[in-house]
Structure 1
Amino acid sequence: MSTIDDRYATRAVPRYTSYPTAPHFHAGVNAETLGGWLSDLPRDMELSLYLHVPYCRSICNYCGCHTKGARRDDPVIAYALKLAREVALVADRLGDRRSVSHIHWGGGTPSLLPRESFLDIVRVLRERFDFTEGHEHAIELDPRTVTPELAGTLREAGITRASLGVQDFDHTVQKAIGRIQPFEQVASAVGALRAVGIDAINFDLMYGLPHQTLDTIAETIRLTRELRPGRIALFGYAHVPWFKKHQRLIDEKSLPDADARIAAADFARARLAEAGYTAIGLDHFALPDDSMAIAYADGTLRRNFQGYTTDTADALIGMGCSSIGRLPQGFVQNMPDIGGWGRAVDAGELPVARGIALDADDRCRAEIIERLMTDHRADVAEIAARHGFPLSQFATAFAQLEEMVADGLVRRRGGLVEVSEAGQRYARVAAAAFDAYLERGTARHSVAV
């Protein structure tokens, strides 16, 4: 490992899908708080909705999601009934029918919802909200669950984008992570979706997995090219067995060391570039005509709990157990346990566990961090002035960046901060300089690369 890699790649820093980050949420933000925030949203504000389904047929060894295994449909059906009730509760607090430009189903495996349960929730959404023309309606899918029948249901529900969890096509790697899905199965899923007109396809790939090599990565990308998804998310596997105990099923000796992990990330990025994909932000890639590549080019790319996104709505409302919402007033997270979440919904209460209200400094730093994570540049002076702060507000951040400036990873001209091409893999480290909460927190984070 080079000296620079040694100093930056293994630093544990947040992924900055929010600022402040989730470890700083607290119970002082509750159901009453969220109710007030929802009712205070301007009537003409476009909304984004996230619906979380915390069930899978089985739990993959690498999984870092909030989910649990469900062999039978009964608990999933019961969950769906409560999720529909939560949609109605949120709509009641909002009052008038509001415009929605993005809907995203995540999990877990939201496609485990039986057909009628899924369509019932979509019906409630359509009854209580106005979907804008050209809205995006996306869902995360396990390729092993996708059949022509499911594809037809998704089309009937109005799904416009599907994200498939591929990870790696190598059988040995798949066996180690507890997720066997041959290329032919994934190709069949893609074909079923495209056959019904769902042409916007995303793939999730991973590096840093057990038994993964540059050869397996090359073959995975070669096979991915055959299926030509419009977007690819390339995530580094985060081994956090202290947080996700099922990850103890992965033999740590089979994981790459820091040098191999960095080599894998660089190799995969290079192969994806050769395949015609535009590198976007920290870990996303898109074909040049995809809306995400266009948003990256024109400076409108955003970042939220789903990662990089073209969603420009001013409020993201999370529904379902453990979901997180982002409103102008602050962040809010639902109860993480299905039982507690369901009891609150049944009692007619918004099932809030915690959150954080934003002050002016939070909003200013959040914008700086988001621009560094998306555009790799931030005009700190302009952003600070717009939020009512002098540039000196960030003197500590600039001091923390001096090491990266000296190493050629960051350029600074007055209040303008730019992450160089060589420094882009360490964008999280640069962003962390502007995090006023990081040093006072005790949360453990994944490494930067």
Structure 2
Amino acid sequence: MRDYKAFVKYSKAGPRYTSYPTAVEFSYKFSYEKYLEILREQTQDLSLYFHLPFCRSACYFCGCNVIYTAKEESKERYLGYIFKELELLKDKTNTQRKVVQMHFGGGTPTFFSAKQLESLILKIKSIFVNFDKEAEISCEIDPRFLNEEQAEVLTRQGFNRISFGVQDFDEKVQKEIHRIQPFELTQNAVKMVRQRGINSVNMDLIYGLPFQSLESFKNTLQKALLINPDRFAIFNYAHVPWLKKNMRKFDETTLPSPDVKLQILEFCEQFLTENGYKMIGMDHFAKPEDELFKALENGTLHRNFQGYTTKGGADLIGVGLTSIGEGQAHYAQNFKDMPSYEKMIDEGHLPFERGVLLSEDDRIRKAVIMDLMANFALDIKKIEDEFKISFKEYFKQDLVALDEYKDFLSLDEKHIKVNETGVLLIRNIAMCFDAYLKNISEDKKVFSKTV
């Protein structure tokens, strides 16, 4: 185990780069009319994201856009607006295009009943009629909210990938984060979908939560391995209490220090590698037979708002409250508040609120940053050929900033390759190529800490 005390100096606020430019740069300058023009002109395959934002109660670590409710009528009303949004999309883009990916995120998608989920899926398929036979169709699931009927609906309707939110199995940590979730409950939820033929199961864990230690997280990983997921997503907790009030409930002195978090991440990599997984990108681990592993090997791994995916190049359309879409040269986000979302749809408009059109510089830097985030390496000649630039000249100032991390990577005329230690600082390394960070004041709280 390395001594990570010296790494504390690298713990600075920075993006996770699920997009570039990041959502901080989304603005109202990107007009609704321009968005409609883009939708009309799109020809790529489709990736669909549906945001189902409701939860029964708050998990204090959660940074998602969530609505807490126990009212059945709230869910029914929301589904009605999702249906209307789908009808609007049918008129404003080519929904005959091949769908290669669909994802239900939350909130808690399985807070909706089996009947509600099936009605939504059938409505989607009536609008987007050309689902690829090999499409990745996935759903995020809180194991506390899954029953046999829901599992049956999801598998019968073609879902083939399930992601279970676990975070931590330690009882003290669970109590502090307001998410009591016994091991046996999670184990049974996974069995429920496995028995119905789901061959791709992901488990989400989070390090950096209150009262976690290296030893406690070792125990969590050992328990998680008994469930035998095909993938792990092991995230660094993003503590942003200025944005999320629920995070203010934590006593910050109980959060593990940056060096302890790095020890946990290093242990995850070693332990999971010893048990047949490989680190994929910044925070994912997959078995060798998994698509993510294969995508890493052949250079087609892609990063977006859902994390790492094998479906790069598809046009992502976000449906529902606060959803984000992505195209070849844009990001587009729906309204975050329900009244505005409903009002736009009632007026016959898509609930688009803001976004960003990518400049040529954005596209170049996005390619560099996303390659680093996905592959821990960059093919410099590929970037030069694609964008007709001299890498050394174009990124002259950025390479000066990169010099701070020279011990964590190798750099020559053809490649940047991040070493095993540098992988732990990949966000910092990618930040060297971010043109927007210099415009953000250091004392302005925008991003979580990188370490």
Give TM class, smaller chain.
Answer: over 0.9
Name the CA distance, whole Å, in 2 between partners of 1:147 and 1:56.
16
Quote how far apart the aligned CAs of 1:247 are.
Answer: 0.7
The one-letter amino acid of 1:352's match is F
> Counterpart of 1:217?
217
Name the CA distance, whole Å, in 2 between partners of 1:213 and 1:424.
21
Name the CA distance, whole Å, in 1 between partners of 2:194 and 2:147.
12
Quote how far apart the aligned CAs of 1:47 are.
Answer: 0.8
The one-letter amino acid of 1:308's match is Y
Quote how far apart the aligned CAs of 1:339 are.
Answer: 1.7
> Counterpart of 2:259?
259
Instruction: Classify 1:200/1:3 alpha carbon distance in 2 versus 1 (closer, same or farther; 3 Å).
Output: closer
TM-score by length of 2: 0.95
> Is residue 176–residue 210 contact of structure 2 (8 Å, CA) maintained in 1?
yes
TM-score by length of 1: 0.96
The one-letter amino acid of 1:334's match is N
- The aligned runs of 1:57-96 (5 Å cut-off) are 57-95=56-94
> Counterpart of 2:411?
412
Name the CA distance, whole Å, in 2 between partners of 1:151 and 1:119.
11
How many matched pairs? Answer: 444
> Counterpart of 2:183?
183
Instruction: Classify 1:205/1:2 alpha carbon distance in 2 versus 1 (closer, same or farther; 3 Å).
Output: closer
Quote how far apart the aligned CAs of 1:157 are.
Answer: 2.4
> Counterpart of 1:291?
291
Q: Which moved more, 1:418-427 or 1:255-264?
A: 255-264
Ranges of 4+ aligned residues in structure 1 off by more than 4 Å: 1-4
Is 1:444 equivalent to 2:446 in the alignment?
yes
- The aligned runs of 1:83-162 (5 Å cut-off) are 83-95=82-94, 97-129=96-128, 130-162=130-162
SS in 1 for 2:395: helix
Quote how far apart the aligned CAs of 1:3 are.
Answer: 6.5
The one-letter amino acid of 1:344's match is M
Write out per-residue CA displacement over residues 337-391 of structure 1, whole angstroms, 9 at most, x where no aligned residue.
1221122112210111110001211111111111101111112343133113232
Q: Which moved more, 1:136-145 or 1:345-354?
A: 345-354
SS in 2 for 1:28: coil
Instruction: Classify 1:53/1:96 alpha carbon distance in 2 versus 1 (closer, same or farther; 3 Å).
Output: closer
The one-letter amino acid of 2:8's match is D
Write out per-residue CA displacement over residues 81-108 of structure 1, whole angstroms, 9 at most, x where no aligned residue.
1112112212211145111000011011
The one-letter amino acid of 1:266's match is E
Name the CA distance, whole Å, in 1 between partners of 2:358 and 2:147.
44
Aligned-residue RMSD, C-alpha: 1.5
> Counterpart of 1:6?
8
Q: Which moved more, 1:290-299 or 1:175-184?
A: 290-299
Name the CA distance, whole Å, in 1 between partners of 2:311 and 2:346.
31
Instruction: Classify 1:203/1:308 alpha carbon distance in 2 versus 1 (closer, same or farther; 3 Å).
Output: same
SS in 2 for 1:98: coil
Write out per-residue CA displacement over residues 127-172 of structure 1, whole angstroms, 9 at most, x where no aligned residue.
2221011111100000001111211121122211110001111111
| Identity between Structure 1 and Structure 2 (%) | 38
The one-letter amino acid of 2:79's match is A
> Is residue 61–residue 178 contact of structure 1 (8 Å, CA) maintained in 2?
yes
> Is residue 364–residue 384 contact of structure 1 (8 Å, CA) maintained in 2?
no
Write out per-residue CA displacement over residues 201-235 of structure 1, whole angstroms, 9 at most, x where no aligned residue.
10001111111122221111111111110000001
> Is residue 42–residue 94 contact of structure 2 (8 Å, CA) maintained in 1?
no
Structure 2: segments with no counterpart, 5+ residues: none
SS in 1 for 2:184: helix
Quote how far apart the aligned CAs of 1:199 are.
Answer: 2.4
> Counterpart of 2:340?
340
Name the CA distance, whole Å, in 2 between partners of 1:196 and 1:149.
11
Name the CA distance, whole Å, in 1 between partners of 2:82 and 2:288.
37
> Is residue 80–residue 118 contact of structure 1 (8 Å, CA) maintained in 2?
no
Name the CA distance, whole Å, in 2 between partners of 1:77 and 1:441.
41
> Is residue 85–residue 345 contact of structure 1 (8 Å, CA) maintained in 2?
yes
SS in 1 for 2:13: coil
Structure 1: segments with no counterpart, 5+ residues: none
Instruction: Classify 1:219/1:370 alpha carbon distance in 2 versus 1 (closer, same or farther; 3 Å).
Output: same
SS in 1 for 2:18: coil
